[in-house]
Structures are given as C-alpha cells and as structure tokens.
Amino acid sequence: MDIILLGPPGAGKGTQAHRLEDTRGMKQLSTGDMLRGAIAAGTEVGKQAKAVMDRGELVSDAIVSALIGEHLEEADKGAIFDGYPRTQHQAEALEMLLADRGRKLSHVIELKVDEDALVERICGRFSCANCGALYHETAKPPKVERTCDVCGSHDFKKRPDDNEETVRKRMAEYRAKTAPILPFYEEQGLVREVNGMGTVEEVAAAIDAILDS
Ligand code: AP5
Ligand code: ZN
C-alpha cells in the first residue's frame, strides 16, 4: 500500500511515518531527509539545496522527483511519502513514477492542524543524532533525560531551518504551493482528513483506522 502523508511543517508527518515503519513494515520516503542526507554528504544536490532549505523555500521539482525515483524500489512493501509531493508538478511526477512500476496510491492522508500550534511544535523539536528518532521538549521528551529511547545515544541535534522566521516561510510555501494540490487527489477520491491536533497516539489511531478500513 502506497500512501501520502500531507500537511504543513510540524503536522506530525515524520512522527507518524516512523511509527508506520515500525508497525507495518512500510518504508518512509522523506524528501526532506534525503536532502539533509545529501547536504551532510556534500553532494552536488546537497550544495544546491542547502541555501534554499535554510530560507524555507522549495527545492526544484526535478531534484526531489529524481530522489524519489532513486529510492522507490526500497519501498516495495509500501511507501509512506512524507513531504512529497509538494507541488502539482511533483504530484504528476509521482503518478508517473508509480504507474511505471504498476503501483498506485491508496490514500492521501491530510493532517489538519492549527498553524500557531505548529510553530511551538517545531521550535521544540530535536532528534537523535545517531538514529534520527524524533523528540519534542515537552510533548515527547526522551524517557530518560538526554538518552535516546531507541538507540541509547546521548547525542541530539536541531535542524537549522527550525526557527520561527523560517517556519513561517515554510508555512507560506505550504499554503501557496502544496495545499492547492489537494483537489487533484480529491477528484480521485483519495483524500482522508485526520485531526493532527490530538496526541501522537490519537493521531496514530486515526491513521490506523483509515489504513485498516
Ligand atoms: P521537510 O523535512 O519535509 O520538513 P516539513 O515538511 O517542513 O515538515 P517537518 O519535518 O518540519 O514536520 P513533520 O510534519 O514531519 O513533523 P514532525 O513529525 O517532525 O522539508 C524541509 C525542507 O526541505 C523544505 O522546507 C524544503 O526546502 C525542502 N524540501 C523537502 N521536500 C521537498 C519537496 N518535495 N519539494 C521541494 N522542497 C522540498 O513533528 C514536529 C514536532 O512535533 C516534533 O518535535 C514531534 O515530536 C512533535 N509532534 C509530532 N506529532 C505531535 C502531536 N500529535 N502532538 C504534539 N507534538 C507532536
Ligand atoms: Zn537514537
């Protein structure tokens, strides 16, 4: 089953994608993670993407669709598209990438959230520098202080684009370029709304109900 998790920055896409990987053997395909990986590795794509991401703007459609194409085979038990597609071009590119492999989307899960709450969520976010597990200073701190629940590492990091000014820009990009792709999926009867303002567990239960229906 291939699904999209769609929602603005901080909606909980990554948090829920990690959980679906653990519980269902699906594979998260996050263009944001792929781009951060390219930056860390110092590749040409990473060099082009870094300044764009630091400003909170969108990286080119050609770059991100190529990244998804490169990683799609890793998700043969089902892909969770996280942060992709973000424009109409990307939505059309994804349709072709899937069709070429005899696959099609089962659901587009729209995480509905209150944007003011998102700034709080994002500014409190940090992750394990070793395994990538996601945390929040108040909503989801590690069970033992400064120790990753998953791998036991004591090394944590914050994203450079997780400051209020850049988050506001990322939200504006979402409203201008990403929310307008919803009608494309609504016409196909694929969109399912989930209230993203509940706890992590409540959101997870709502997503499970859709995937099991
Ligand atoms: P990307 O990495 O995709 O970031 P994003 O879309 O801005 O989303 P986030 O990762 O910030 O949020 P999330 O929804 O995953 O929330 P999370 O689960 O972490 O993109 C970054 C940049 O890369 C873009 O700005 C762009 O430049 C570029 N890019 C990426 N893809 C692209 C594309 N396709 N095209 C063009 N450019 C692209 O949760 C956030 C926090 O809240 C965490 O601390 C978490 O613990 C907490 N939390 C989660 N759920 C809850 C809950 N229910 N209650 C309370 N707290 C919660
Ligand atoms: Zn860890």
**What are the pLDDT digits (tens) for 158-180?**
999 999 999 999 999 999 999 99
- pLDDT grade, residue 145 (50/70/90)? very high
Q: Give the distance (Å) from ligand 1 centre to CA of residue 85.
A: 13
How many CA atoms lie within 13 Å of 11's alpha carbon, on the beta-carbon side?
21
Distance CA 35, CA 49 (A): 7
Q: What are phi and psi of 158, to 5 degrees?
A: -120, 150
- Look at residue 117 and tell me whether its pLDDT is greater than 90: no
Distance CA 101, CA 96 (A): 9
Q: Is 146 annotated as a binding residue?
A: no
Q: Is 19 annotated as a binding residue?
A: no
Give catalytic status of residue 170 as yes or no. yes
Cα 78 to Cα 49, 72, 107, 109, 136, distances in angstroms: 27, 9, 12, 15, 28
Question: Residue 72: how many CB atoms within 10 A of its CB?
Answer: 20
| Residues 144, 135 contacting (CB under 8 angstroms) | no
**ipTM over cut 0.90:** yes
Q: Give the distance (Å) from ligand 2 centre to CA of residue 24.
A: 20
Region 195-210: mean pLDDT is: 96
- Look at residue 188 and tell me whether its pLDDT is greater than 90: yes
- Look at residue 144 and tell me whether its pLDDT is greater than 90: yes
Using a pLDDT cut of 70, give the percent of the chain over it. Answer: 100
Give catalytic status of residue 13 as yes or no. yes
Q: Give the distance (Å) from ligand 1 centre to CA of residue 15.
A: 9
Distance CA 53, CA 48 (A): 9
- Look at residue 115 and tell me whether its pLDDT is greater than 90: no
Query: What one-character DSSP code corresponds to residue 161?
Result: T
Pocket of ligand 1 (CB under 6 A): 7, 9-15, 31-32, 35, 52-53, 56-59, 64, 83-84, 86, 90, 121-122, 124-125, 134-136, 139-140, 170, 198-200, 203
pLDDT of residue 99: 97
- pLDDT grade, residue 139 (50/70/90)? confident
Query: Among the listed ranges 27-31, 91-95, 187-191, 197-201, which one has the minimum average pLDDT value?
Result: 197-201
- Look at residue 80 and tell me whether its pLDDT is greater than 90: yes
Give catalytic status of residue 19 as yes or no. no
Confidence (pTM)? 0.94
